[in-house]
Amino acid sequence: MCGIVGFTGNHQAAPVLLDGLAKLEYRGYDSAGIAIRDGKSNTEIIKEKGKLKVLGEMTDWGNAVRGCCGIGHTRWATHGEPSALNAHPHSSDDENVIAVHNGIIENYQELKEKLSKQGYTFKSQTDTEVAVKLIDYYYKKYNEGPVDCIVRAMLRIRGSYALCVMFKDYPDEIYTARKDSPMIIGIANGETYVASDVPAILKYTRNVYYIGNHEIARLEKGKVTFYNIDREEISKPLTEIKWDAEAAEKGGYEHFMLKEIHEQPKVILDTINSVVQNGQISFESVDLSDDVMRSIRQVYIVACGSAYHVGMAVQYVIEELTSLSVRVELASEFRYRKMSLQDNSLVIIISQSGETADSLAALRSAKKQGVRTLGIVNVVGSSIAREAESVFYTLAGPEISVATTKAYSTQLIAGYLLALQFAKARAEITDERYAQLISEINSIPAKIEKILSDKERIQWFSSKLVGIKDAFFIGRGIDYAISLEGSLKMKEISYIHSEAYAAGELKHGPISLIEDGTVVISVVTQPELYEKTVSNMVEVKSRGANLVGVTTYGNYAMEDTADFVIFVPKIDPLFAGSLSVIPLQLMSYYVSVGKGFDVDKPRNLAKSVTVE
Ligand code: G6P
């Protein structure tokens, strides 16, 4: 979850590191630090609690620190509270070894005891300091060199890590090692960059190497050498990043979240066009053949957070269009369940980052059982994309705001297209219905534009929600899946206690929490379930709820029941979630802005959850 940047080249390193860290702040922002080397063995380590801005101001945005090689880190605390002491980089007492780390070292206590017996003492509460001192210990004990001592440490460490290490004796070099935490390396104009995510280095280079699990890299100016865990030199392919550098900038919007909400029509269209040509879906790029789709009997959709909510919505669509049975599972639960997966199953992992630790572990556990896997992933070359047998890339581009919007929307589209292709391959849909649904999917971008063009009305209403303490979201079927997402958005960026319930469950408990003025937001787009949900709305209204309805144009009677109604364009109900979610995203955004919160970096959250 933390952000890492490293640089060795001919320019001053600190401004490059701070600039890169600013692009990675969505990965963690409770403290930040840099270590800069001046070409000899002098190193300056500067770190502080708080957002990157604090470190930026301390160092005149890097201009006050001289040296052309360095590593930097923005932290999301796991071991030890956010503080200057626990901030990275960490170093051995003589500064022989200095490192930044992303991930969790599970056996750090045991390693700490081992090192304590060797006379090491520890200043911080972090697992990283233990890793640094372990590397230092092997470096001094065997006197073999950086790659060797890192490998020795890797063999002892359990857990996940992306490590960037500098050694006093190798002043212009950075060594990196990785296991289950993302890291990429880029080279341009005789200079070398390393980062935990693409946006940090996109400004400098589009040509990157993905360092694999259990691999080590030695970075020199304009040169990188890779090694496997057996310390043998290996070669790696260079990959070109196609993302637009501007896509990772705010482009005139006040927040990334608002910009990303507005990008949804475009990225949805891009995602559709990546597999639909002339009204037909082709899954050639996904590498999932019709034969395989015909052989599948059971689908498991496994994901975390909003991606899990996508799975909830897509489940209804697949079950409506095909005879497949679908189970949606939280990755953090799935990975530890003693579930025997049926033969002829497909496990679909949905993940924006492609690095979520639980989703990756779920993928691996499915593969272990010999079950076919498909990733719906946004980040090209990420771990899930590399390890899943088939990959459907969503083309959301870089998503910076911690609260997902555009990646979520493209995942929904990928799910619809998958459902439709399943139906087609299995001959469970007529040609007419298939063509009609493709055309409905194609209509989504323009319909979202229409909702966005009326956002001021939602902004106005949201300003009235700034003082509320609780909110409830209700819906049935797909509307329930969207309610889950609306509720998550509200709580994650507005810090309002919010819960989503299947509307039919209200009477089994939550209705007791409804009192005068309690905000209840009902999503009601499914014609077959309309009356049922409206009855539930009436029930809460009669107990004093302040009722908001999100429904389709035409359902004007809703205005008799709800205090405020948001209408979305008509569409086939299977895809209505792509429209009804937009007002909910906007609502949570405007409430958060109204409360004066840092919308893009909500407290305690990180975008890419690479630890359990
Ligand atoms: C975090 C993010 C969410 C995201 C979830 C899963 O909680 O804040 O926006 O839905 O992780 O992430 P993934 O990268 O696997 O989609």
pLDDT in tens, 336-379: 888 888 889 999 999 999 999 999 999 999 999 999 999 999 98
Phi, psi of 570 (to 5 degrees): -75, 145
According to DSSP, the β-strands at 519-524 and 546-552 are parallel
pLDDT in tens, 372-423: 999 999 988 888 999 999 999 999 988 889 999 999 999 999 999 999 999 9
How many A from CA of 506 to the centre of ligand 1?
28
Q: Is the dihedral of CA 74, 80, 85, 86 positive or negative?
A: negative
Model confidence at 610: pLDDT above 80: no
The stretch 70-86 carries a mean pLDDT of 87
Structure tokens at 182: 């993302």
In angstroms, the first-to-last Cα distance of the chain is 10
Biggest alpha carbon distance in the chain?
A: 80
Q: pLDDT-derived band of residue 251, with 50, 70 and 90 as boundaries?
A: confident
CA 609 to CA 1: how far, in whole Å?
5
Instruction: Report the 10 Å Cβ neighbour count for 113.
Output: 10
Q: pLDDT-derived band of residue 581, with 50, 70 and 90 as boundaries?
A: very high
Q: Give me the pLDDT at residue 510, please.
A: 83
Q: Is the dihedral of CA 586, 590, 591, 596 positive or negative?
A: positive
Q: Give me the pLDDT at residue 41, please.
A: 67
Helix (H) or strand (E) holding 276: strand 276-277
Give the residue numbers annotated as catalytic, written as ranges: 2, 607
Contact by Cβ (8 Å): 385, 374: no
pLDDT in tens, 149-206: 999 999 999 988 999 999 999 999 999 999 988 899 999 999 999 999 888 998 899 8
Local structure of residue 121 (DSSP, 8 states)? -
Q: Give me the pLDDT at residue 6, please.
A: 98
CA 564 to CA 541: how far, in whole Å?
12
pLDDT in tens, 4-25: 999 999 999 999 999 999 988 7
The partner residues of 99 in beta bridges, in order of sequence, read 90, 165
CA 73 to CA 196: how far, in whole Å?
10
CA 14 to CA 33: how far, in whole Å?
10
How many A from CA of 581 to the centre of ligand 1?
17
CA 341 to CA 329: how far, in whole Å?
13
Atom of ligand 1 nearest to the CA of 303: 15
Mutate to test the pocket of ligand 1, among 196, 198, 257, 304 (most ligand atoms within 8 A of CB): 304
Nearest CA residue ID for atom 5, ligand 1: 305
Atom of ligand 1 nearest to the CA of 308: 10
How many A from CA of 9 to the centre of ligand 1?
34
pLDDT in tens, 490-548: 999 999 999 999 999 988 988 888 888 999 999 999 999 999 999 899 899 988 999 99
Q: Lowest-pLDDT range, 42-51, 163-172, 238-247, 560-569?
A: 238-247
How many A from CA of 407 to the centre of ligand 1?
9
Q: Give me the pLDDT at residue 591, please.
A: 96
The stretch 583-590 carries a mean pLDDT of 97
User: Could you tell me where the beta strands, DSSP code E, fall in 207-247?
Assistant: 207-210, 215-220, 223-227, 233-234, 239-240
How many A from CA of 493 to the centre of ligand 1?
14
Q: Give me the pLDDT at residue 240, please.
A: 87
CA distances to 47, 184, 439 from 3, in Å:
14, 12, 41
pLDDT above 70 as % of the chain? 99
Contact by Cβ (8 Å): 185, 192: yes
Q: Which of 319, 321, 326 is nearest to 348 (CA)?
A: 326
CA 318 to CA 322: how far, in whole Å?
6
Which residues surround ligand 1 with Cβ inside 6 Å?
Answer: 304-307, 351-353, 356, 359, 402, 404, 605, 607-609
User: Could you tell me where the beta strands, DSSP code E, fall in 113-222?
Assistant: 161-167, 174-179, 184-188, 191-195, 207-210, 215-220
The stretch 238-264 carries a mean pLDDT of 83
Nearest CA residue ID for atom 7, ligand 1: 305
Triad 458, 462, 467: Cα angle to 5°: 175
Structure tokens at 256: 């990334």
Nearest CA residue ID for atom 2, ligand 1: 607
pLDDT in tens, 110-152: 999 999 999 999 999 999 999 999 999 999 999 999 999 999 9
According to DSSP, the β-strands at 280-281 and 519-524 are unpaired
Q: Give me the pLDDT at residue 55, please.
A: 93
Structure tokens at 99: 């490192």
Neighbour order of strands in the sheet with 31-37: 43-49, 31-37, 69-75, 3-8, 191-195, 184-188, 207-210, 239-240
- Quote the distance between the C-alpha of residue 327 and its chain's center: 22
pLDDT top residue among 321 and 336: 321
Instruction: Report the 10 Å Cβ neighbour count for 340.
Output: 7
Structure tokens at 140: 């001094």
Triad 495, 496, 500: Cα angle to 5°: 120
Mutate to test the pocket of ligand 1, among 353, 376, 392 (most ligand atoms within 8 A of CB): 353
Q: Give me the pLDDT at residue 310, please.
A: 98
- Quote the distance between the C-alpha of residue 14 and its chain's center: 27
Instruction: Report the 10 Å Cβ neighbour count for 449.
Output: 15
